[in-house]
Every structure is written in C-alpha cells, then in structure tokens.
Amino acid sequence: MAKVLISCMERRLNQELDRMAKDMAKDGSEVIVLRNAGANVGGLEESMREIEEMAGIDQIVIATHDDCGAMKFVSGCLDGRYTYDRDLGSKLVEPFEKHAGENLDIANQKVQRSRAVDLSKALGLDAKIEVSPISVGSIGVPKSTNGAHHALLVGSGIYKMGFEKAIRKAGLETFETYVIDAPVLSETMPDIKIAKDILGISDIRVVSLNQKQEAKNAKFVERAKGMGMKHLKIYGIKDRAPA
C-alpha cells in the first residue's frame, strides 16, 4: 500500500515537499508524490487509478498552499479575465464556481478534500484523506532574485530522486523551478499550458530518470508538439533514481 502526497507545481515548495515525503515514509510506507497546478485532484484521476492498480492507496495527503498561482488563474477564469478550454474547466475551474469571491487558497482545501473523497469512492479505496496546507511564508524560502530564471521540470517519479536533487542535476535553481510529477504524463497537459501561458515559463523540460522513461517521454513530447506545444524539450537526468 502507498501513501500519496498531492501538491502544487509551485517552485517554492520543492524543499518542503521533499521533507514532507521523507516524514511520511518514516513508518516504512511507500510514498508517491504527485504535483500539478494547484494540487488539483481532479487533474490526477488517471494517475491515481494507475497507482491504485499498481500499489494500492491507503492514505492521501493534499498539500495546498497560500499565494497559489493556480488559484489566481482560477480567480481570473471566474471573473472572465482568462479563457479556458472545457478540459481545464471541468478539472480545475468549475469546482470553484460556488466559491467565487472567497479566498480561493482556503476554498482549495475544501475543494480538493471533497474531490479526493469522491475519487476514493469511485476507485473503491479505503484511504485516509488529509489536507495539510503549506504556508509559504513559514518554510524558509529565500526571496527570488531579480530576473531569476524560471523553469519547469515535467516527469514521472521525479520525487524518487528528491525534487531538490533532481533540479540541481538539471542545472537549475531549487526555488526557481516549478515541478510537475505524475505517472500519467498526458494528464498534465493542461498544467503545462498554465505554466507556459500564465506563468510565462518558456524553459520546459520533460525529464527522464532512466532509459525506460526516455522512450515514453519522447512519445509524450511528440504528442504535445502535435497539440501545438512546440516548446517542450526532452531532458535526461543521468543519475538513476533508486528503483
């Protein structure tokens, strides 16, 4: 059985999520970390199904956070500043319609808990569901330097290496690098689009931790390019992640 930690791609959370995952693994449990825009459970249904089939899930911890860019995007969608497609609508935006005008970072805790409860039922899980929000001001994140280079790492199982280590191996900065991590990469297409269109990130690297992933990732990038995402780059992190 595995514990699943679901959080946001937010660059400031990298170190804290490594710490949380380590903490959750203290009792010997397998811990799987998933990250997308907004710790959005609705955008990880296929990934959760795959994890349930491979390992089984007995705990879900959802780590939303304050000052979340994904919630700013949702807010902009709700008041018409941003447009979004149907896929992103049903997965990320619509659950917030009844929370319009509220603090969406707080609403996100409720939204994701209720989505996790629904998903658990749909998958027939008997999992403990917990929301453990992170306050970005209290986790020791250094202030961003002016003109910092923001990048996005996309991959499956990056957490196995540790986000901080993987980012360093890619030659990037711990607190300037957003991370998307999910076993079903195709599910993260809307999140990659948010990083590109809303956060303005142009350095997007689909990383593989081993050779087996390289071929899979190449297919994914091919598909993404076919959908107009021509900016994606394939990137290998040479060091093998622990099996």
Residue 147 Cα distances to 116, 143, 144, 150, 176, angstroms: 38, 12, 8, 9, 10
- By beta-carbon proximity to Zn ion, the closer residue of 2 and 68 is 68
Of residues 58-117, those binding Zn ion (CB under 5 A): 68, 70
Residue 155 Cα distances to 9, 127, 189, 203, angstroms: 12, 25, 12, 14
Tokens of 133: 């929000």
Binding status of residue 10 toward Zn ion by CB under 5 A: yes
Binding status of residue 195 toward Zn ion by CB under 5 A: no
- By beta-carbon proximity to Zn ion, the closer residue of 10 and 181 is 10
- Residue whose C-alpha is closest to residue 173's, from 198, 136, 143: 143
The distance of closest approach from Cβ of residue 7 to Zn ion in the complex, given in angstroms and rounded to an integer, is 8
**Orientation of helix 189-197 relative to helix 69-78, angle to 10°:** 90
- Residue whose C-alpha is closest to residue 60's, from 124, 108, 132: 132
Binding status of residue 8 toward Zn ion by CB under 5 A: yes
The distance of closest approach from Cβ of residue 70 to Zn ion in the complex, given in angstroms and rounded to an integer, is 5
Q: Tell me the C-alpha distance between 181 and 8, whole Å.
A: 10
- By beta-carbon proximity to Zn ion, the closer residue of 34 and 70 is 70
- By beta-carbon proximity to Zn ion, the closer residue of 192 and 221 is 192
Among the candidate windows 4-12, 24-32, 100-108, 158-166, which touches Zn ion by CB under 5 A? 4-12
Q: Is 172 helix (H, G, I), strand (E, B) or coil?
A: coil
Site string for Zn ion, 148-167 (x = CB under 5 A): --------------------
Query: CA 112, 87, 191: angle at the middle one, nearest 5?
Result: 65
Residue 234 Cα distances to 97, 154, 180, angstroms: 37, 10, 14
The distance of closest approach from Cβ of residue 215 to Zn ion in the complex, given in angstroms and rounded to an integer, is 31
- By beta-carbon proximity to Zn ion, the closer residue of 195 and 241 is 195
Site string for Zn ion, 204-243 (x = CB under 5 A): ----------------------------------------
The distance of closest approach from Cβ of residue 34 to Zn ion in the complex, given in angstroms and rounded to an integer, is 13
Binding status of residue 191 toward Zn ion by CB under 5 A: no
What residues make contact with Zn ion under the rule CB under 5 A? 8, 10, 68, 70
